[in-house]
Structure 1
Amino acid sequence: MGVGGVSRAGRTRWVLLGLLFLSTIINYLDRQALSILATTIQADLGMSDLEYARVVQVFLLAYAGAYVLAGRVTDWLGAKLALMLFIGWWSLANIATGMVRSAVELGAARFALGLGEPGNYTVGTKVVSEQFPPSERGLALGLYTAGAMIGATIAPPLIGGIALVYGWRSAFWITGVVGLLWIVLWWWAYPKQPKAEATAAQPSMKGVWGKLARTPAVWTLVASRAVADPVWYFYLFWFPKYLGDARGMSLATVASLAWIVYVTADIGSVGGGAISGVLVRRGMTPVRSRLTAMTGAAILAPLGFFITLHPSVPVLFALACTVTFAHLVYQINLTSMVVDIFPSRYIASVAGLIGCGSALGGMASAQVVGELVSGNAFDRTFVLMAFLHPLAVLLAYLALRLARRSPLSLLYAGPAQRA
């Protein structure tokens, strides 16, 4: 390939990353809209806190199951067509959310949303695995994942503002239409995949997927995400509600303040990837650099425990910001570690299984949190969250040891020697 071809390929990968960043913003706007408007929607539809918790659970149930399917669909269709399918589906589901008239209909609409949203992350992981070298993967994952935090950051003022001016239903309609418009940009920007490359990975995928499902390292990584991610789901789905119910803040106040917590998550997303990238450039192995950053995050995240002391609002937000920062450092580096361990040919399938663990952990925690919140026990919830990251990082270390013994891992040299 000539210099012009290399330069063009380099530009293309950053354009694709930029579009993934935008799709992730849309993904989180659509997801976060419900938590921002929870109190308003509950009043309009006559829903209790437990009914709201069940709607969150229904979303996460669909999200968990769809993650496994999304990984296989991504490896099968390729990134271009797969993401068009996923974002088109979830955008229509978000529009449907603005048309519901009961708690049951709301649950059905959010279930449909959950079926589409995981695909954004299986496609993103595959694109990074295929397009970026190890020293840039953490940063690339951090940059596009930062879209999640940008979405969560702008959601309170944007969604709250639309709802205050046009009504809560319009917030879902407008963000859904934006997703449909994004599809045009993806179709235009994504380069055609060579036929030989598109068909090369297909023959052995069935066998490989079955082997992945029987690989202990994969399931230990699934467990690590399942343990850590309930912390993020709590701050995503319940923290705005905590500000309103436990701290007595109005919708307008929540809309003006809650975004701060997600800005620091953005910093953790980009900074966490950059930190491990620097360590790689200084000679540390990619996997070891990810684990080093994750260990630091696991030390910081338990500071959220001190929210139970009911500090002043500035201290409350400082603690919450520390937790969201730490979580995104952890999440980005865990994802980067997965990309370092497994080949790009089936990385989306691995990412789908691990994402399923994330959603299952969130779904299980939603029931626990719902029960605690109904009993006015937000404090006990913060205590519970403080223990999760230390446990998750121990599982990540175990996964590395198991990966070195797995024939499907890039860290295992056996297959090449025995071939």
Structure 2
Amino acid sequence: MAGRGRKPIRHLRWWIISLVTIGTVLNYLARSTLSVAAPTLKDELGMTTESYSYVVLSFQLAYTVMQTVAGAVLDLLGTRLGFFLFAVGWAFANMAHGFATSWQGLAFFRGLLGATEAAAIPAGAKSVSEWFPARERPLATSAFQMGTSVGAIAAPPIVVFCILTWGWESAFLVTGALSLIWATIWWFSYDTPDQHRALGADERALIAAGQGQGDEAGRPSTRGEVLKSRGFWAIAIPRFFAEPAWQTFNFFIPLYLVTVWKLDLQSIALWAWMPFVAADLGSLAAGLLPPWLMKRGANVLESRKITMSIGAICMIGPACIGLAGSPGLAIALFCIGGFAHQMLNGALITLCSDVFDSRMVGTASGMVGTAAWIGGMLFTLAIGQSADTFGYSPLFAMLGALDLIGMAILWFLLRKRSLAN
């Protein structure tokens, strides 16, 4: 937090979202460490694909439950304190992975990581609702959402380097320590616009003036109203269908490359980051397309729905991975999937700021996240039970179909005059 009398920082809201983005990068770096280390850990700890899926499931179960809790905690404690506590928690939980001696121990620490990392997306959405006018929210959301893929991009080279240099335990210690450093910076840098002493009067007025844009009337402002609203289910159900794709990309691309194409650890480091570069471009598209559509006559909600729909249609690409004749073509289809998912997901995350009262954005985002992660958790369980028997191809085909279903539900439920009933 800036000191009293400090000269205002120009465009402070963009510095704030940059800080949120770095936190998201480190959040996803920590969670992606396991997927890159998975081939090594399967040998070191004697894990099968099924037992590995249980380790992933432990993270997903804790994350799913805690999304709603974390959102409520953020609304109760405030973004600054709430996000700080969760960040410190995930830093230590990730470092603890290095002390696991069995897949059961790894699953326990993975559950602790999931419980603490659950605050990242609700905290990002709440920061956007606090710091940005409605017209800038898509780009701000896309900025911090890009952190999810940057973290996944950074994981293969960092984790492989640590494993080859110091052993697999060091990968978790290093990535956890980076999060701990960020948490300290966050504590001394973040505050709300009405309290931040480095925010200029002009920018404070700009933020305040833009907070009322969008559909103000009838916005749900209590947890009960959120759950009863069509707007909540219009976001939650499509995210339930969309999240399995992103979690599959994050947790299973390295295992897919080893299992199907017999690539070694160095080859995984060479290939596995590419879909997440494409995902960054998808996040950017989710930020730039809605304002472009709004300038051409679309209202706020229509711009989000069109953006989500384009991403859902593009998910047909990764649905065809089973037809790939080479690892290069498979990675190219994963790239289309990364772009498509982050584009549609960015639109859905932004909708929480558009539809709900700012005091409930953390809670609403957390409950939507819980719905999303239930979908991801169920799909991970399906992978663990069927991948070794039937292969990955049918599962990837299902991912494309699920997003198209989510698109249809979004258009059916999210109608401007029916958000609160």
TM over 0.5: yes
> What residue number does 1:37 align with?
37
Q: 2:284 aligns to what?
A: 270
Could you say if the C-alpha distance between residues 161 and 225 of structure 1 is closer, same or farther in structure 2, counting changes exceeding 3 Å? same
Instruction: Determine which of 207, 215, 222 is the counterpart of 1:208.
Output: 222
Paired residues in the alignment total: 392
Contact 2:230 2:420 in 1 (8 A): no
How much has 1:193 moved relative to structure 2? 7.0
Gaps of 5+ in 1: 196-205, 409-419
State how far apart, in whole Å, the 1-side matches of 2:347 and 2:231 are: 16
Alignment match of 2:356 (pick from 342, 359, 381):
342
SS of the residue 1:311 aligns to: coil
Return 306-315 or 248-257, whichever deviates more.
306-315
**Cα-to-partner distance string for 1:339-397 (whole Å, 9 max, x where unaligned):** 11112111111100111111111100001111121215111112211211101111211
1:406 CA drift (Å): 4.1
- Give the Cα–Cα distance (whole angstroms) in 2 for the partners of residues 237 and 216 of structure 1: 32
Measured after TM superposition, the shift of residue 189 of structure 1 is: 1.1
Query: What is the SS of the residue equivalent to 1:246?
Result: helix
Query: Which residue of 290, 298, 302 maps to 1:284?
Result: 298
Structure 1 residue 330 and structure 2 residue 344: aligned? Answer: yes
Instruction: Return the letter of the residue paired with 2:331.
Output: F
Shift of 1:257: 1.0
Q: Does 1:236 align with 2:250?
A: yes
CA contact (8 A) 1:162 1:171 kept: yes
From the superposition, tell whether residues 216 and 275 of structure 1 become closer, same or farther in structure 2 (CA, over 3 Å).
closer
Query: Partner residue of 1:137?
Result: 137
Q: For residues 87 and 286 of structure 1, what CA distance do their matches in structure 2 show?
A: 32
- 1:199 maps to which residue? none
Task: Give matches, 1:146-185, under 5 Å.
Answer: 146-185=146-185
Distance 1:367 1:407 in 2: 34
Query: How far has the Cα of 1:10 moved from its partner?
Result: 5.6
SS in 2 for 1:65: helix
1:366 is aligned to: 380
Question: Pick from 400, 403, 413: which aligns with 1:386?
Answer: 400
State whether residues 229 and 420 of structure 2, in contact with CA within 8 Å, keep that contact through their aligned partners in structure 1. Answer: no
What's the TM-score once normalised by structure 2's chain length?
A: 0.89
Going from structure 1 to structure 2, the CA distance change for 1:116 and 1:168 (only over 3 Å counts) comes to same
Match of 2:200 in 1: none
Q: 1:318 aligns with which of 307, 315, 332?
A: 332
Is 1:85 the counterpart of 2:98? The answer is: no
Letter in 2 for 1:170: S
- Structure 2 match to 1:417: none
Deviation, structure 1 residue 207:
8.3
How far did residue 209 of structure 1 move? 1.3
Which whole-Å CA distance do the structure 1 matches of 2:22 and 2:414 have between them?
32
Deviations 1:95-154 (CA, angstroms, capped at 9, x unpaired): 111111111111110000000112111111011112112221111000111011111111
What secondary structure, in the 3-state scheme, does the structure 2 residue paired with 1:404 have? helix
Moved over 3 A (4+): 7-10, 191-195
Tell me, yes or no, if the aligned pair for 1:15 and 1:189 is still in contact at 8 Å: no
Partner of 2:205: none
Evaluate the alpha carbon distance shift between residue 406 and residue 303 of structure 1 in structure 2; reply closer, same or farther with a 3 A threshold. Answer: closer
SS across alignment from 2:154:
helix
Percent of matched pairs sharing the same residue: 32
- How far apart, in 2, do the equivalents of 1:87 and 1:281 lie? 38
Q: Distance in 1 between matches of 2:105 and 2:132?
A: 42
The equivalent residue for 1:413 is: none
